[in-house]
Chains A and B, each alone.
Chain A
């Protein structure tokens, strides 16, 4: 029987791994992810979850152990945040190069210094080139749903790549919401057990990861490219199937909120999307033709979907809770990349909420009104940092 529980985003991730029947979990604690580790440890200790929990001595080892377990044919899960994720960097690439469907949760947290444990997407986006699939969640239910779906997508033999399910520090990780914990049998039907054709097996002694000379390496990379190209379709397909089985739509590549024929399109990622949707409603009531696209799948970037979405749009206002120095906000940059040579609206990049800075409905409304105004006055600034000490008066008015 499915059951509603009031749980944090961290617990939702833990329950997601349990329902997915992760067989090996290797994780190391870091704020604000610690509860994921603690909850899984508890579920295992109580016999509620049948998994081997490896208490590793670092995140680097967490991913290394997950990779090895996956290579030996087990469904592997891990979780981390910020500095832990950065420490894993080498192995995030190892997992994709080795074509292993390891699924992890990353709690989006700012990178130090200065030390900060609060929400910021830079940790995840700094890993965008590692061959990991990246799914940004809006609420705790979606965290749980996405873990289950990620295994289904990643273990598909045409894909065989690792994934990161990401949720915002504290705003999701420590906030309790009602979450449906599905009936195990329902999940089992949706997600069959992991049984790869090739694994470490004494009855079939194969070697994994040997030296690839220049006449081979590039072709292996091409195969990853091919797999990644198939992911968008797979995401939508699995999303559809999920909807049919569980009666819930996590949003596929991009969740569209009132986007039909809009003049102004706001793009968000993660938890700020919920408040933003309320503000969109308010503005629509005031007569503005504005809608919201929640970018759920950042890797692979839903290029085609964006090209469709921006048809007829005048202004795209992108809310980036991240900044890559010398480059810009990642979502805005990628959107511009995607639409280059197609219909090209004004794109303005709003840098918001770094290191957990609060995004109130008022600030969001000011941003959206700024975007609406661009229709008449044209683009003033390509990138605007919002709600800094020097400009707070303007954004909080």
Chain B
């Protein structure tokens, strides 16, 4: 496991809420990519967290960009560096967007960037809703969750659709490297991002980043939620390298999903049978992932 680099590129004094997983996400990402990096950030909580003009708490060149443009911006910055003969292994271009900015409104630019083969790390910090605008559902909001646009009234209008699988979408592009990471497992997260940095071409990193404000969870439970998400297999930690799946942290004993759900107010309304349904689905997805790992292992090929 990688050590966590001491150097802080994110200074104290953010406007993030207490217990914000996205704040941890940035801190570890910067530690992993280092100061020879350029980051671009679209509209999202992270457009506000660094502070307002003229203050800024990130010691790294930072380009704010329009909500849906992160992938295109990354291609633009990388092209300018190429034009100046700056090697991609020397300076890393990072796109750092929320789930909305990556999986919904930004999915076209994301797809374009990956398909073009831009040498960049595209990061999706996933707090499972549009938080900056006040907790509206996104394509990454999981089934069953309350948000302000999936309000729970007498008609039980919680989110009825499953979470969009961005790892599969990235992989369907033939991306050289994609990984899920979690802010509750910082050493592993840094290891995977460092690995991504060395791989030429487009890379995708899906960061699990709890949001106490939007999830109606206690700020002190952020890291606990990360652990439970991994141990319940709600958010498995795995990487896909040129199509080969590798689950790099398998839970020893699977924790029931309800342990994970019950720490979050956004699932409080769910009746027992709905929790059962979610459990079944998580089990199925996990089995499927294990199968994918087995099926794609290169060592089995020879």
Contact = CB atoms under 8 A, between A and B. Distances in A.
B200 interface: no
A216 B75 contact: no
Contacts of A62: 72
A23 B80 contact: yes
Interface stretch (B56-64, B158-166, B260-268): B56-64
Contacts of B80: 23-24, 52, 68-74, 76, 200
A70 B80 CA distance: 7
B91 interface: yes
B56 A210 contact: yes
A168 to B, nearest CB: 29
A56 B84 contact: no
B298 interface: no
Interface stretch (A201-209, A232-240, A288-296, A310-318): A201-209
B262 to A, nearest CB: 36
Contacts of A210: 47, 50-53, 56, 62, 64
Interface in B10-38: 35-38
Given A24-B80, A55-B116, A202-B91, A61 B64 contact: no
Contacts of B111: 57
A51 interface: yes
A368 interface: no
A94 B84 CA distance: 24
Given A200-B61, A202-B36, A210-B53, A72 B77 contact: yes
Contacts of A205: 35, 58-62
B56 A24 contact: no
B73 interface: yes
Given A64-B109, A202-B36, A207-B64, A54 B84 contact: no
B4 interface: no
Contacts of A56: 72, 75, 112, 116
Interface residues of A, number: 42
B48 interface: yes
B108 interface: yes
Nearest to B64: A209
Contacts of A60: 68-69, 72, 109
Contacts of A331: none
Most buried by A among B47, B56, B72, B91: B72
Give the size range of B's interface with the partner. Answer: 35 or more
A352 interface: no
Contact of A202 (B37, B52, B109, B112): B37
A91 interface: yes
Contacts of A226: none
Most buried by A among B47, B69, B91, B116: B69
A201 B61 contact: yes
Interface in B62-91: 62-66, 68-69, 71-77, 79-84, 91
B40 interface: yes
B115 interface: yes
Nearest to A71: B63
B95 to A, nearest CB: 10
A51 B66 CA distance: 25
A69 B74 CA distance: 9
A102 B82 CA distance: 18
Contacts of B61: 200-202, 204-207
Contacts of B91: 202
A51 B83 contact: yes
A276 interface: no
A51 B116 CA distance: 16
A157 interface: no
Contact of A211 (B48, B68, B79, B81): B48
A52 B68 CA distance: 22
Contacts of A202: 35-38, 60-61, 91
Contact of B69 (A91, A204, A213): A91
Contacts of A132: none
9 contacts: A23-B83, A54-B76, A56-B112, A61-B69, A62-B72, A64-B66, A68-B74, A210-B56, A212-B53
